[in-house]
Structure 1
Amino acid sequence: MTNFVVKTLANAAALAAAIWLLADITLDDGSSLGRRTLTLILVALVFGLVNFIVKPVVRLLSLPLFVVTLGLFTLVVNALMLLLTSWLAKQLDLSFYVEGFWTAVLGGFIISVVSWVLNMVLPDKN
């Protein structure tokens, strides 16, 4: 349970970094800090579920592209997962938006880097 909470908070921090750095990734949920924080945590949960359920299937189906591009196709998969999260957030009435594929590529890269750094720093207990 602790690992789940830590990973969700790490996802929220990584998403917050992407929102802060990129104008085309937005979290428009009023001016209340509490409301924005709750929305960010809910989006982080959706993002975690997308990465847990959908991403392995996409990676398996696109394995030849990973090999041919020497792993660079990971950027495309991360972008697609971020776009899927944005779409699901809209369906769940969460105000998280990603505008366009190239913004998603850059956002996915930022999220990957921030998540990697946080996972190096934070404890990894099951």
Structure 2
Amino acid sequence: MSTIVKFALRVVVLAVIIYVVTQLVSGITVIGNTEGTFGEVGTYLWVALLFAVVNTLVGPVVRLLSLPFVVLTLGLFLLVINAALLGITAAISDRLEVDGFWTAVVGGFLIALFSWIAELVLPLEVKR
């Protein structure tokens, strides 16, 4: 499979994960656009694409700058970083709402957990 197809499949899987997280965590809401071309599904795909871009562009920089805190807390600070990335995505998009810090921490943890499980189950890694 080409890299673009794998990236598109990753976004679709992430959209499903975000849907599941919105069902599990009451403070995370995706406001579906029923009048759009793809309806509510398109909204989840858009939010997943935004989250993937934020995680790809901003994530490594934030993780590198916070490396001392990650080491000091034995990796627990990564939960705060995931919450921040989810919050940045909510700030960029008017279709994603996150009610507070602890809601973002729980949501970021669940997205990371379900993404990790999806990586184990689905062969979507990009080989170079």
- Other structure's SS at 2:58 match: helix
Deviation at 1:123, TM superposition (A): 1.5
Structure (1 or 2) with the greater helix fraction? 1
Q: Is the 8 A contact 1:17 1:111 kept in 2?
A: no
Deviation at 1:29, TM superposition (A): 2.1
- Paired residue total: 122
Q: What residue number does 2:18 align with?
A: 15
TM-score (norm 2): 0.89
Q: Please, which runs of 5 or more residues in structure 2 have no aligned partner? A: none
- Other structure's SS at 1:85 match: helix
Name the structure, 1 or 2, with higher relative contact order (CA <8 Å, separation 6+): 1
Amino acid across the alignment from 1:109: F
Q: Please, which runs of 5 or more residues in structure 1 have no aligned partner? A: none
Of 4, 8, 13 in structure 2, the residue corresponding to residue 5 of structure 1 is 8
Amino acid across the alignment from 2:85: M
State the Cα RMSD in Å: 1.6
Deviation at 1:124, TM superposition (A): 2.4
TM-score (norm 1): 0.90
How far apart are the structure 1 equivalents of 2:55 and 2:45?
Answer: 15
Q: Is the 8 A contact 1:17 1:114 kept in 2?
A: no
Of 29, 32, 54 in structure 2, the residue corresponding to residue 29 of structure 1 is 32
